[in-house]
Structure 1
Amino acid sequence: MDSHKVFALLLLITSALSQKYSFGGVLSQAKIVGAGEREVFSYECKTGSCMMTYFWTTSTWDFFDRTRIKYYIDEEPSPSIDGRLFMMHGVGYGVQTMFGHERAGKGAKTGGLYNTYRIPFAKKVRVTLSLPEGINDGLLWVIFRGVENAGPVSLSYDTQLTKDARLKLYTNEDIPLKPLQYIDLSNSNKSGALFQVTININSTGLNFIEGCVRAHLNQGKSMLVLGTGIEDYFQSAFTFNGGEFRYPGAGLNVKFPGDTGLSAYKFHTDDPFLFNDGLRLTLRNGDTFDPETNLKCVLLEGGQPVGSPQLSVVSSHTWVYEW
């Protein structure tokens, strides 16, 4: 083969490898039976730079909200994404409310969950599903889509992440918290970007809402307050006194009767929060103020409690891009 033909062939191969194209898969009315993990999608990347871009699902079984979804990225032995279906989409347990925006939503009373989360991988992605405890069978519908030869993740039009960024999910499930006790929403020792936070809290009153949201940075050497109360962090005010709302950036999907709890979500896309050398994101069950200055969130220990927080049960799903 002469040099001109070799050069032309190399150009053709280079052009093919540089092109973006979509891949995907579906299951329609698939019978899911028994306990344990069931693989519902897998794909091997051809270009060394792939990204999952769309997920939708619904089913016929009860307690669909507690269905467990796992993503195994690049043949990792333990899934970096492992969560409960509704919480993964900003929806608390048992919530039947419908909502939607460009990142995630719920399009039916008991199903129709979707997201457009960008989940990068280089070699292979494998997704599994497990039925909720006590459920033995049901029918599943699911759609996956992704892009080959994908570029870096962009949180928003002006915040592009490194090409090595990988999405990780940190979870807490039904954790009892004593008054003024802290809980880690995420705990990363890497650099990265906070993507999304969902909480579901049950208590006997709303004093838990005074808990500050704190970001402990640089291996605990510094701290930044992200919310001077739960409602402040989720972009509301005064104990969510306007009721439920569902915006692209944040929302209160449900406020339980009698002020006994809530479910809320926040996306850090247009409000990017980047970190280096570690992030420990914490929430407190209620909080205190400094009697000398009357300021909240300045004391990690001690101080005067705001109201009378009670025992609370907290679930959370926190998505973080890490590199």
Structure 2
Amino acid sequence: MAAIVASVSLSAMLLAAAWGYVQVTPNMKSFSSAIKGGSLASNKEKILYSRSTGPGVITEQWFTGREAMNEDTRIRIYIDGETEASLDFQLFLAHGIGAGEAQEVGNIPWGTNRIAHEADGGIYNTYRIPYAKSLKVTATHPKGGAFWYIIRGVENYPVILGDLQLPANTRLHLYKTVNQVLAPYQFITLANISGNAGALYQVTLSTHSQDYSHLEACFRAIIDGEEMFLSSGTEDFFLSAYYFNRGLYHNDNSGLTFKDKKGSMSAYKFFDNDPMLFTTSLALMWRCGEKINGADGCPNDFPRPSTQDNHRLGDAVGKLQLQNTNTTAYVWVYQW
């Protein structure tokens, strides 16, 4: 009888792994904490939550406060005793929003499986953030003010990406490009990882230019040495088309959170259901505009040393008038 029970238990575990869910174990333990009407002092880092028992996974965070939880809020998450936070981000950009509260107020409420903005300052995520021994979450704001905060998680809980259970030593990393001005046709590497295996999790791109010609550019990746195109244009990468001609959308897989109809936009793409895995290296690249189908263009050629920077290729079909483009990007990657 014991052998039969053991066989059934093993079968259940294998089935759970195959379907991307996890069986409850006796050592799983939930934790939760809330702050009501807290206060941030101007430019002073404040601890929102700390924990020294693990391993565990943050499963949800919620932030609100018109004064202190907006586009100027800096959140830092210190993992396993770090003195410099490996996750260091602006609150809005971490939720795919490249605009400020003044621009966002007309678009809320909206919500998806992973991120939402459902009230003035009311913003949350369900990013799974693993740690081995300890974690500390802090907030900083240039002016300070009142805030509310909730965090939840589970000890001894695995990280699930879509239907994949990631290794126990997985950590979430953030690669940032902040306010980098790209000349027409200039390439930029948004993340460059070597010596690790991992999975791309989320990409947010925020651009400010004179028009939307800079969107005529493919995303490219080099995964374990293999070159590949990830899209036939920028808006295609975010699962839209025609320069986002139907306006804002907020979906589980991707979304457009801001577009001013002049040349600025912000969009996000999740890879839960579209896994991009690497075993030794990942380089993710974008470009400020692109020649269509010609030499060194999209989707024909990868960057070459002679065209890596500001080499002008001539106008694309439609006589694009490319301008310098201010570019910010957040790339979230699970690594193990």
Deviation, 1:263, is 0.9
Is 2:213 aligned against 1:203? no
Instruction: Using the TM superposition, give the Cα deviation of residue 252 of structure 1 relative to its aligned residue in structure 2, in angstroms.
Output: 0.9
SS of residue matched to 1:71? strand
- Shift in alpha-carbon separation, 1:160–1:179, aligned structure 2, 3 A: same
CA offsets 1:129-168 (integer angstroms, 9 cap, x no match): 1103xx1x300100000101112x1111x22211111001
Name the residue aligned to 1:7: none
Which of 276, 289, 301 is equivalent to 1:286?
289
Instruction: State the superposition RMSD in angstroms.
Output: 2.0
Q: Do residues 184 (structure 1) and 194 (structure 2) align?
A: no
TM-score under structure 1 normalisation? 0.86
Distance 1:69 1:264 in 2: 20
Identical residues among aligned pairs (%)? 35
Looking at structure 2, the residues matched to 103 and 64 of structure 1 have their Cα atoms a distance apart, in angstroms, of 18
Aligned partner of 2:48 in structure 1 is 40
**1:170–1:186 CA contact under 8 A, matched in 2:** yes
Amino acid at match of 1:230: T
CA distance in 2, matches of 1:83, 1:255: 22
Q: Give the letter for the 1:84 counterpart.
A: Q
- Contact 2:99–2:258 (CA<8 Å) still a contact in 1? no
> 1:242 pairs with 231, 241, 246, which one?
246
Given that 1:289 and 1:299 are in contact with CA atoms closer than 8 Å, whether structure 2 keeps it comes out as: no
Are 2:131 and 1:121 equivalent residues in the alignment? yes
Q: What residue in structure 2 maps to residue 308 of structure 1?
A: 321
**Residue-by-residue CA offset, 1:38-68 (whole Å, 9 max, x unaligned):** 11110112xx420000100011317821211
> In structure 2, what is the Cα distance between the partners aligned to 1:23 and 1:292?
55
The change in CA–CA distance for 1:294 and 1:142 in structure 2 (over 3 A counts) is: closer
Q: Larger strand proportion, structure 1 or 2?
A: 1
Q: Answer yes or no: is 1:146 the counterpart of 2:171.
A: no
- Kindly tell me: are residues 116 and 62 of structure 1, through their superposed partners in 2, closer, same or farther at Cα, counting changes over 3 Å? closer
- 1:215 and 2:225 equivalent? no
Q: 1:166/1:305 Cα in 2 relative to 1: closer, same or farther (>3 Å)? A: farther
Quote how far apart the aligned CAs of 1:217 are. 2.4
1:104 corresponds to which residue? 115
Deviation at 1:288, TM superposition (A): 2.1
State the secondary structure of the residue aligned to 1:107.
strand
Q: Which amino acid aligns with 1:40?
A: L
Pair 1:262 & 2:274 matched: no
Task: For 1:299 and 1:168, locate their aligned partners in 2 and report how far apart those are by CA, in whole Å.
Answer: 26
Q: What amino acid is aligned across from residue 124 of structure 2 in structure 1?
A: Y
Q: For each residue in 1:245-294, what CA deviation from the matched residue of structure 2 results, as whole angstroms up to 9, or x when unmatched?
A: 11110011121133x11110110000111112111211111112343798
Query: Does the C-alpha gap of structure 1 residues 102 and 44 become closer, same or farther in structure 2, counting only changes over 3 Å?
Result: same
Aligned-partner Cα distance in 2 for 1:304–1:122: 52
Task: From the superposition, tell whether residues 210 and 312 of structure 1 become closer, same or farther in structure 2 (CA, over 3 Å).
Answer: same
Question: Structure 1 regions of 5+ residues with no counterpart?
Answer: 1-15
Partner of 1:322: 335
What is the distance in 2 between the residues matched to 1:34 and 1:175?
27
Matching residue of 1:29: 37
* Equivalent pairs, count: 297
What CA distance in whole angstroms lies between the structure 2 residues aligned with 1:62 and 1:128?
13
